[in-house]
Amino acid sequence: EAEAAVCSRCRRAQLRLCLERLKGLVPLGAAAGRHTTLSLLTRARLHIQKLEDQERRALHQIEQLQREQRHLQRQLEKLGMERVRIDSIGSSLSSERSDSDQGES
């Protein structure tokens, strides 16, 4: 029986320690005075839900930005290919011109 009482006191002390740590992690607002365990746990649950919502929104934004990046990368590659094609057309035109210039002399 004495051993059970000691274990019970240890559990209560551990619970108090965990609740104190939780108070440090959860924004308690203006009424940061004395909170009941229930109110602290309720605030913690709401805070966790808020963080999960923020995480979901951030992940969604990351996915959107990745899609946009892929789209822009494809456009850039397409522009690069067009530039190569235009450059090659330009160089073949200039070589044709220089061939005709040589014929005129």
Q: Identify the band that residue 101 occupies on the pLDDT scale cut at 50, 70 and 90.
A: low
pLDDT digits (tens, 9 = 90+) for 41-73: 999 999 999 999 999 999 999 999 999 999 999
In the block, residue with structure tokens 């067009």: 82
Q: Give the span between the Cα atoms of 74 and 92, in whole angstroms.
A: 27
pLDDT at 97: 63
Domain count, the chain: 1
* Model confidence, pTM: 0.61
Q: Would 63 be classed as within a structural domain?
A: yes
Q: Would 72 be classed as within a structural domain?
A: yes
Q: Say how many C-beta atoms besides its own lie within 10 A of residue 35's C-beta.
A: 17
Q: What contacts 37, CB < 8 A, 6 or more positions away?
A: 19
The one-letter code for the residue type at 76 is L
In the block, residue with structure tokens 């969604």: 60
Give strand ranges (E) for 1-105.
none
Domain that holds residue 13: 1-21+37-89
